[in-house]
Chain A
C-alpha cells in the first residue's frame, strides 16, 4: 500500500524464497536487485546505483538480515540508513558571514529555479534578522532582471541591477553598494547555462575569482534524471560548489537527483523548494528524502504540516489513540475539519510519490474536497455509538445513514472502507516511526 512500495516488494521476494528454508547470499542478491530497480526508478544515476548496491551488499549479508523474520523490512532499514548517511545525516545551513558582505552565488541550468530561489533565500535571511541584497546577474534571458526586481519588491529586499552590463562589473558594483548600505549577504542570481557552454562557464569563473564567494550553490530541479551527475560534476569541477538547492519538490517526483548530486559533489543540500510561494523554502531533511527516494512517501513532511494546525492537547489524546490503534469515526470527523484547514489536499497528497499514478486502491484514498464534505455529512448522520463502534453498522443502519446524509449506501460503504484503510495505514506509520528518533508526531487523517 501507500508507504510500503519497496518494502512490500522486498517482503514478497523473501516470501517466495522462504519456502526453501535458509536464506542465502543469492537471496540477498535478488533483494538487492529490487533495491537497484527502485533507485533507478527514482532517477538515481546508473553509476551511483551500482556503487551503492555494491557497498550495500556487505551490510545486507550481515547476520541480522539472514536471521530476521522480516528480512524485507531489515533490508529496507539498512538501505534507508545508508541513504541517509550518504545524503549527509545532519542539516546544513547557509554559512555565517565573518567578513561582510558575503557573496552567495546561485548557479545552474536553465529553468532550474535560480531566480525564485534567490528571492526565497533573501526572504528567509531577512526573516532571520539579516540584511540581504539581491543582485540581478542574468543579463541574457528576456525580462529576467525585471523578474528579480518584481520579486524583490514583494519581499521588500533591495535589488541591485545595471541592465545588460558584464555580470562581473555588476557584482563588483553591487559589492560597493552593499559596503555602503551595510548588507551582510549579497545574493547573486546568474543566467541559466549549460555546463558544456565554455563561454558562459568562464563568466562564472571570472565572477568567482573577482568576489571570492562565501557560497556557490547549485540549483537543481528535483525532477532531473540521469543527467544530474553530468551537470553537477561539471559545475563542481569548474567552480568548486559549496552546496545545493533542490527545487520543485512539491511535485510527485521521487527526487533521486538529490542522491546523484550529493554522490558526485559531496556537497550538502542546503535548502529545498516546495512551491511557488516565498515561504515554500525549507531546510533539507536527509531522512525524509531517503524515504521519498525509496517510494515510502514524504511521511514526516506530512506530519510536520499537520502539527502546524493541530491543537496540542487534542493532539496528545489523538496520538495516544493512534498508537493504540483505537481511532474512532468521531476522531476521524474532527480530523476532517483539520484537514480542511491545512490547505489544498492536493498539496498534501502530492507529496506522496506515486499516489497520482497508483492504481484504484490508492485512488479510493485520495479524497477530494467534495468527498470531504460528503464524509462529514455521513459521519454526522451516525449515532455516537456507531461512530465509536463502526463494526455495529449493519445494512439497515447503512441505509438510515445514507438517507440522513443525502448520500447513497455505496457512499457510506466507501467511507467505512476508507476508514478501515486509514487505520491500517496508521499502523504502518507507527511501525515506521518506531524506528526513528522519538518525534512528537501524529498523523492527521
Chain B
C-alpha cells in the first residue's frame, strides 16, 4: 500500500534525510529537539497552532512517561499523531443496505474531484459492482466531456445534461436512473466552488437536498476533496463546506508530489472530519484507503 506515495517521497527523501537524522539520530532530548520538530511539522503544513498543540501534548507525555531519549520521544510522537488522525473512526466507506449507494463529491476548484470519482468508480467496477456517474459539473468548460471520457475508461455509465444546465436536475435524473437501472453505486461529480461563495454553497445544498429527498438515507458519503499542496486555507474550506452540508469524510489528493498534506491534522483536530482516501497519482488505480499509522510514518519519514 501507499506505493506511489512512497515513491514520491523517495525522491525528496534526500533533502529531508539530514534533517530527520539530526532530529531522530542524536539521542539527547533537549530544546533543539522541539525546535526541529516545530520546523518539520510547520514545513509539512500542519500549521502553527496545531503544531504548538502537538508539541504541548508531546511534552506532557514525555514528562509523564519519563522519556529521556529522542528515539522514545519519536515513538510517543507517532502514537500521538496516529491518535489524532484516527479516533476509531473507520476509514471504510458507507454502503447502503439496499442499492443504490450514493456518494457526493465536493471541493474547491481543481483539487481532483472528477479524477477521484473516476478512481472510485474503477475500484468498485473492478469488483464487479455496477457504477453510474452523474455529471453534476455543468459549469466548467468541458467538465462533462472529461467525466464522459473517464466513464468509458473505468466502465461506468453516465447521466449528463447540457453545459450550463441546472446541476440539481442532473443529479435528480441520475438518482432516478440509478434506482431504475438497479446500479450499486452512484457517484455525483460537482463543479469546483470556493467555500467563500454563498451562492455556490446554496447550489450545493440544493444538490444535497435533491439526493436526500429522492432516497432518504442518501447521500451515504459526502466526501470533501482536499489537495495535499493546500496550506492553511484547507481549514476554512473544511469548516465552511461542513457548515453547508454534513461532510462524512476527506479525500486527500496529489500525495504523489512533495507536499506532505499535514494540514489534515489541523482539519481533523478542528472539524473532526475523518480522512478516508488518498489520491496518489493521475491513473485510475491511484487511490488508496487511508491508514493512520502509514500516513504518519510518511509524514515524518
Contacts of A248 in B (CB 8 A): 108-110, 194
CB-contact partner of B48 in A41, A231, A254, under 8 A: A41
Q: Are B142 and A147 in contact (CB under 8 A)?
A: yes
- Give complex CA distance A228, B142 in Å: 28
Q: What 4 A-B pairs are tightest by C-beta distance, nearest first? A: A225-B231, A111-B110, A43-B231, A350-B196
The interface bits of chain A over 393-431 (1 if a CB of B lies within 8 angstroms of the residue's CB, else 0) are 000000000000000000000000000000000000000
Known: A142-B145, A143-B146, A230-B258. A225 touches B8 (CB 8 A): no
Q: Are A224 and B230 in contact (CB under 8 A)?
A: yes
Known: A225-B263, A227-B257, A344-B199. A143 touches B108 (CB 8 A): no
Is A194 positioned at the interface, with any CB of B under 8 Å from its CB?
yes
Q: Are A357 and B239 in contact (CB under 8 A)?
A: yes
Q: Are A251 and B257 in contact (CB under 8 A)?
A: no
Chain B proximity of A331: nearest CB distance (Å):
27
CB-contact partner of A40 in B48, B141, B228, B230, under 8 A: B48
Q: Are B198 and A110 in contact (CB under 8 A)?
A: no
Is A330 positioned at the interface, with any CB of B under 8 Å from its CB?
no
Is B11 positioned at the interface, with any CB of A under 8 Å from its CB?
yes
Chain A proximity of B262: nearest CB distance (Å):
8
| CB closest chain-A residue, reference B152 | A142
Known: A112-B110, A350-B197. A254 touches B232 (CB 8 A): yes
Chain A proximity of B298: nearest CB distance (Å):
14
CB-contact partner of A224 in B39, B199, B229, under 8 A: B229
Q: Which residues of chain A from 28 to 68 have any CB-CB distance to chain B below 8 Å in the complex? A: 37, 40-43, 45-46
Contacts of A228 in B (CB 8 A): 229, 231
Chain B proximity of A111: nearest CB distance (Å):
3
CB-contact partner of A46 in B43, B196, B232, under 8 A: B43
- Give complex CA distance A224, B197 in Å: 19
CB-contact partner of A150 in B142, B196, B282, under 8 A: B142
Q: Are B196 and A196 in contact (CB under 8 A)?
A: no
Q: Are B257 and A194 in contact (CB under 8 A)?
A: yes
Is B82 positioned at the interface, with any CB of A under 8 Å from its CB?
no
CB-contact partner of B230 in A147, A225, A231, under 8 A: A225
Is A26 positioned at the interface, with any CB of B under 8 Å from its CB?
no
- Give complex CA distance A153, B8 in Å: 38
CB-contact partner of B44 in A143, A154, A226, A349, under 8 A: A226
Q: Are A143 and B195 in contact (CB under 8 A)?
A: no
| CB closest chain-A residue, reference B227 | A111
Contacts of B258 in A (CB 8 A): 194-196, 227, 230-231
Q: Are B199 and A251 in contact (CB under 8 A)?
A: no
A-B contact pairs, 16 of them (CB 8 A): A37-B48, A46-B39, A142-B153, A143-B143, A147-B145, A151-B141, A196-B8, A221-B227, A221-B230, A225-B231, A226-B45, A227-B45, A230-B259, A253-B232, A276-B109, A350-B197
Is B111 positioned at the interface, with any CB of A under 8 Å from its CB?
yes
Is A346 positioned at the interface, with any CB of B under 8 Å from its CB?
yes
List the interface of chain A (C-beta within 8 A of B).
37, 40-43, 45-46, 109-113, 140-144, 146-147, 149-151, 154, 194-196, 221, 223-228, 230-231, 248, 250-254, 256-257, 276, 344, 346-347, 349-350, 356-357, 368
Contacts of A254 in B (CB 8 A): 232-233
Contacts of B272 in A (CB 8 A): none
Contacts of A230 in B (CB 8 A): 12, 258-259
- Give complex CA distance A151, B163 in Å: 13
| CB closest chain-B residue, reference A39 | B48
- Give complex CA distance A113, B44 in Å: 23
Is B240 positioned at the interface, with any CB of A under 8 Å from its CB?
yes
Contacts of A257 in B (CB 8 A): 231
CB-contact partner of A346 in B8, B143, B198, B256, under 8 A: B198
Is B254 positioned at the interface, with any CB of A under 8 Å from its CB?
yes
Contacts of A42 in B (CB 8 A): 232
- Give complex CA distance A149, B145 in Å: 12
Is B179 positioned at the interface, with any CB of A under 8 Å from its CB?
no
Known: A111-B111, A140-B282, A230-B258. A253 touches B233 (CB 8 A): yes
Contacts of B232 in A (CB 8 A): 41-43, 225, 253-254
